[in-house]
A and B are shown apart, each in its own frame.
Chain A
């Protein structure tokens, strides 16, 4: 009788373990949901291109602007911020680019330091 009880306990334990494993397999880290861009704005490149290569465009333009003084081209971080600012709980509800940028970077475990120096809040009157 005692043996049956022990077997039962082990079986129950196994079932519980399988259930936990199944849940882990189903409950993956949820896909990121970046904040929506300001309504009525159009991105400078198609979304698929931006998702994959935004960092290339930004880095290329950053060097041109800083080192050669070429300003006003279309891949600037300022323009990203001006369309993609959304209410940010970490900034007391003020609109910043963080809710948009951080969503995917957190998912992909990418640590960017753009906003260590660059403004996260859009300038007044600068929307595309």
Chain B
């Protein structure tokens, strides 16, 4: 193919490349459909900033909201119960100062859970959300061992009455989905919504958009990732740790 495409061909390509290009081959048969449905975009990178100075130590609002939204609730068996988000208390031994931080899937740019998955069930979407494809998860739990944050859970028991937007079943691994069913429709994760009513410590948004809510919040002061030595490029950042 030579560099100078002839004008007719360029015209044709320009018409094809239009955002809503639809090429009708025959009545009722189209080659390209318009963007009727939004797609997870590679230009975006969803992330979360958690401001620990605003996160009250006894508050479990985000944990409760996540459980209700996604239909996971403790059966009173802490060793095996699923936990998509939890409050971890960290304490400085010398000064005695402590903070409670919500720990959830950190939605890494370089997720170790994806690296170790033998079936490709653990994957990262174009917009940075790390998910489990339970259709092909074999429940080997390698990802649980690989995750430095203990963010994933294995479903040990039969599950009934799941939420239609959050399928979960025995024998598969699961974790925070960043409420993809909400953010794909332009909403916010359930934890962020609940937190706004409590202390407003969580800010959700696009890490690639400096003008967005998250971009502006990040510009206001330094925020750090957990375990920066691992260089995983998490989408979840903490301030005040």
Interface residues of A (CB under 8 A from B): 62, 66-73, 78, 81, 113, 116-119, 121, 123
Say whether B184 contacts A71, CB under 8 Å.
yes
Say whether A119 contacts B162, CB under 8 Å.
yes
Which residue of A has the minimal Cβ distance to B162?
A119
Say whether B164 contacts A116, CB under 8 Å.
no
CB distance from B107 to the nearest CB of A (A): 14
Say whether A116 contacts B169, CB under 8 Å.
yes
In the complex, 15 of the A-B residue pairs with CB atoms within 8 angstroms, ordered by the A residue number, are A69-B39, A70-B38, A70-B39, A71-B184, A73-B37, A78-B164, A113-B169, A116-B169, A117-B162, A117-B168, A117-B169, A118-B162, A118-B164, A118-B167, A121-B161
Q: Mark B162-198, 1 if CB is under 8 A from A, else 0.
A: 1110011110100000001100110000000000000
Cα-based distance from A10 to B168 in the complex (angstroms): 61
Cα-based distance from A71 to B38 in the complex (angstroms): 7
CB distance from A120 to the nearest CB of B (A): 9
Is there a chain A Cβ closer than 8 Å to B134's Cβ?
Answer: yes
Contact A69 to B163, CB < 8 A, known contacts A117-B134, A117-B172: no
**Interface on chain B toward A: helix, strand, loop, or mixed SS?**
loop
Say whether A68 contacts B125, CB under 8 Å.
yes
CB distance from A68 to the nearest CB of B (A): 5
Say whether B133 contacts A69, CB under 8 Å.
no
Cα-based distance from A78 to B40 in the complex (angstroms): 20
Contact A70 to B37, CB < 8 A, known contacts A116-B169, A119-B167: yes
Residue from B36, B167, B168, B169 whose CB has the most chain A CB atoms within 10 Å? B167
Contact A71 to B37, CB < 8 A, known contacts A66-B133, A117-B159, A119-B161: yes
Interface range on chain B (Cβ under 8 Å from partner): 20 to 34
Say whether A71 contacts B185, CB under 8 Å.
yes
Cα-based distance from A69 to B51 in the complex (angstroms): 28
Which of A69, A71, A72, A117 lies in contact with B167, CB distance below 8 A? Answer: A117
Cα-based distance from A50 to B131 in the complex (angstroms): 30
Say whether A81 contacts B133, CB under 8 Å.
no
Which residue of A has the minimal Cβ distance to B125?
A69
Say whether B135 contacts A62, CB under 8 Å.
yes
Is there a chain A Cβ closer than 8 Å to B126's Cβ?
Answer: yes
Cα-based distance from A78 to B131 in the complex (angstroms): 20
Which of B133, B162, B172 lies in contact with A67, CB distance below 8 A? Answer: B133
Cα-based distance from A77 to B3 in the complex (angstroms): 47
Contacts of B142 on A, CB cut-off 8 Å?
none
Contact A69 to B164, CB < 8 A, known contacts A62-B135, A116-B169, A116-B170: no
Cα-based distance from A118 to B40 in the complex (angstroms): 22
Contacts of B125 on A, CB cut-off 8 Å?
67-69
For chain B, residues 120 to 165, give those with C-beta under 8 angstroms from any C-beta of chain A. 123, 125-127, 129, 131, 133-135, 159, 161-164
CB distance from B136 to the nearest CB of A (A): 10
